[in-house]
Structure 1
Amino acid sequence: MYRQEVKTAPTAAGVPTAALTGAEAKTTIQAVAPRTWLKIGVALVVTLMLALYLLRNVLLGTPIKVYAATSGALVQTVVASGRIISPRRVTVALQGTGRVRRVAVAEGQAVEAGQLLIELEDSESLASLAQARAAVSQAQAKVRQLNELDRPLAVQTLAQAQATSLQTRKALERSRDLVAQGFVSQAATDDAQRADQIATSQVASAQAQVQANLAGGSDAALAGAALEQAIAGVQVAQVRLAQGRVLAPSKGVLIARSVEVGDIVQPGKALMVFAASGHTQISVQLDEKNLAKIAPGLKAYASADAFPSHRFDAVVAYINPGVDATRGAVEVKLDVTDPPAYLRQDMTVSVDIETARRTATLVIASNTVEDATSERPWVLVVRNSRTVKQFVRLGLRGNTRVEVLDGLAAGEGVVPVAKVGVKAGQRVRADVVAMPPATP
């Protein structure tokens, strides 16, 4: 015989179910069943919602942010780094030797043309100048002596010599007459003849002296030459004195100095570097691959590394005809039309040279293009909620945007390259966001 074991369950009143009558047990079962089914229903709903949440990406697609291809302006630039240069840099040195007495300017100080930069001790130079001026005074006195004394005296001496010569000539003639008449001996005639010869030579000497003292004569020429030499000596002394003072050749800025008060300087030794004022320029080394894009007159935008948020205009002014074979680069100089006050010599700057511009063309963000430098660049474009690998033909290329000539239509969303894990053919939910701002 089988024995059936009846398990009792406590009721709300604590009385076992088996102890209840049939009518009471039926009433209790009917009261418990609705609450149980409610719990089961809630559990099923929660399970279904959880499953839908977990499978949402499979059913609806992975949510991603995309950039829409849009029509807009595009600027293509060539980026390079360079430095600020001045049109003329002057190395300051002295032509003489001496001790520095004064250094009148400091590094970075702006100076005007003719302003004192360096001064040497000048006591010796001043003494030399005084000596030279005394020599001039002496030479001038010699010229005055020649004009006021020597020349008149020579004229008087000539007159006296001529008078004496006339007397000796007459005496010689009388002596000859007397010898012929027999009144005197031949010896007297010889004496008269010697006296006449002496007088004649004295006349010639006096004439030569007068001629020498006249303008253009030898004595006058010597006196004039001595005066000119003395004047030249003054000029030399003045030059040497001036060489002890270095003045700014033009308006500009002192960018370097290697001299202090008390230093003994030698001729030709570089003491200062002076940047003359003028058109400020930027010198950049440009990759030779970009040479075909560059031409004089192209606009550019520059910013100093020390002030990256401040941009200023520049214009391509010069392209070196030679290429540096070692670096494969060419030097390009740009004029800064309105240089900011903070620019300094040799300051590092970044330059964007505008090589082409489009006013209205189809553009996409640069960071959406795969294999951008290859012959077949491509993008992931969202079509019918799926990503599609689309080859594109690119045109101009800016810093943050590129021109699309073929392969896309306006409004289509393209996936940024940074979206790792997104592949072609994947179901996605695209959220269109704004492209990075275009920069010149």
Structure 2
Amino acid sequence: MRAHLPRARWLWPLLVVALVAAGTLGWFLLRGAASEAVAAKYAPLVRTLQFSARVATLSRVEVGSTVTARVDQVLVREGEQVRTDQPLVKLESEELQAALAQAVATEKQAEATLTAARAELERTEALVAQGFLSASRRDDAQRAVDVARAQRQAGIAAISAARARLTQMVITAPAPARVLSRHVEPGQIVQPGKALLGLALSGPTQIVAQVDERFLEQLRVGQKAAVMADAFAGQRLAATIISIAPEVDAQRGAVEVKFSLDQPPPAFLREDMTLSAEVETARRDRALVLPARGLRTGATGEAMLVAEGRRAVERPVRTGLRTLDAVEVVSGVREGELVLLSPTLKPGARVRTQLVEWQPSRSPQGRGAGGNADPVSGITEAMGR
């Protein structure tokens, strides 16, 4: 009997440890698993698309000379705004001016000859009527008048031709435009067919973007947008979608979208300048907004886990507007209820909620490298802006 006492003495500590462990395990089981939770609340929800765009030139023309000549003056610089018929380039024209002066002198001589021939015809007709001259003399006088008239007309035509050639020596703007490029300098010999200046004809400024076809369903004509140049980040320009191309570029998987500015373009805007565009594609002024990661697949479709007391209860939900990480819950969750975010939590499990502050992020998707990369498109969202 005494031999068994030491063994019993060791059993008591083991029993105490087992009881403590069982109590601790029971406490943890009753306490429940920890899970982040967000309180459902109403707030504005905005969905936007972000992508790169560029300033489009409605019409670009190149002007040049129609004759071979030496350049006398270049009257404009790159970037300068010009008006219709404003001189751009002057070619040397001394020889043509001399030819015009000679043509004018020839025409004056022909005019004098015609005047004298008409006077002679009048005298001849009077003498023929009186019987002093024969009718053949009147015919000769008439032929002299006809010849003089033809010479005068030839002189007038020569003047017109000389003036037309002189006009070609001044290259003018065909319409209001901005000078984009200049390829000529004074003293240079120019020939027909060679472009001397590149012009962008004035017109309504348009913004053109190549948008990934995945986002085509979100875009509509008339949607408002904001555009911004990287070099002038503090100046956002309001714009509106005016057209969406009816076909998709198969090689790039993109669709062309055009915008018009809602106000006169600022001076810093340049043709082909790269811009960042943001289009508001959907808005809810008041929506029950929750994190999209709280959604799960339930027995009948989409569902969320809601904390009821210390239990996680699965609720079927109906959703509306979605963004990258936010979702509008139309039904299934009420304002103020705690939505559980733990992906491993099971319906019916005991839960210990950890309330967190949450708002949608603004992390664009599809941003690519610059240069000749594929069209860059993205989707962002904001709540409560």
TM-score, length of structure 1 as denominator length: 0.63
Question: Where does residue 353 of structure 2 map in the other structure?
Answer: 429
* Higher normalized strand content (fraction of residues): 2
Contact 2:53 2:207 in 1 (8 A): yes
Structure 2 contact 82–173 (Cα < 8 Å) conserved: no
Encode CA deviations 1:36-65: one digit per residue, 9 max, x unaligned: xxxxxxxxxxxx9xx99xx99877566665
**CA displacement, residues 279-324 of structure 1 (integer Å, 9 cap, x when unaligned):** 2211122344544544332222233344455432111112333333
Pair 323,146 (structure 1): closer, same or farther in 2 beyond 3 Å: same
What pairs with 1:89-128 in structure 2 (closer than 5 Å)?
89-107=60-78, 109-113=79-83, 118-122=88-92, 125-128=93-96
Aligned to 2:268: 342
Counterpart Cα distance in 2 of 1:99 and 1:381: 85
Asked whether the 8 Å contact 1:300–1:316 carries over to 2, the reply is yes
Is 1:208 matched up with 2:125?
Answer: no
Higher helix share: 1
The sequence identity of aligned pairs, in percent, is: 33
Instruction: Return the alpha-carbon distance in structure 2 between the equivalents of residues 433 and 146 of structure 1.
Output: 102
Quote the offset at 1:105 in angstroms: 4.0
2:30 and 2:350 in contact (8 A); partners too: no
Q: Which residue of 1 aligns with 2:11?
A: none
Corresponding residue to 2:40 among 66, 69, 79: 69
- Are 1:150 and 2:74 counterparts? no
Cα offset for 1:144? 1.9
Whole-angstrom distance in 2 between the partners of 1:116 and 1:82:
32
Is 1:87 the counterpart of 2:58? The answer is yes
Distance 1:426 1:226, change over 3 A: farther
1:315 partnered with 2:263 = no
Q: Are 1:84 and 1:283, in contact at CA under 8 Å, matched by a contact in 2?
A: yes
Per the alignment, residue 186 of structure 1 pairs with: none
Amino acid of the structure 2 residue aligned with 1:143? E
Structure 2 CA distance for aligned equivalents of residues 319 and 429 of structure 1: 48
Cα displacement (A) at 1:207: 1.2
- Closer, same or farther in 2 for the Cα pair 1:237/1:316, shift >3 Å? same
Whose radius of gyration is greater, 1 or 2? 1
So what's the TM-score if we normalise by structure 2?
A: 0.70
Read off the aligned partner of 1:303 and give its amino acid letter: M
* CA apart distance, 1:334: 1.1
- Aligned residue pair count: 338
Q: Structure 1: 5+ residue runs without aligned partners?
A: 1-47, 167-201
Counterparts of residues 387-406 of structure 1 (less than 5 Å)? 392-398=317-323, 401-406=326-331
Q: How does 1:32-71 map to 2 (within 5 A)?
A: 65-71=36-42
| Corresponding residue number in structure 2 for 1:141 | 109
Q: Is 1:231 the counterpart of 2:199 in the alignment? A: no
Q: List runs of 5+ in structure 2 lacking aligned partners.
A: 1-19, 361-381
Q: Structure 1 residues 70, 241: CA separation in 2 closer, same or farther (over 3 Å shift)?
A: same
Query: Which residue identity does 1:249 align to in structure 2?
Result: A
Q: Which amino acid aligns with 2:192?
A: P
Counterpart-to-counterpart distance in 2, 1:439 and 1:86: 37
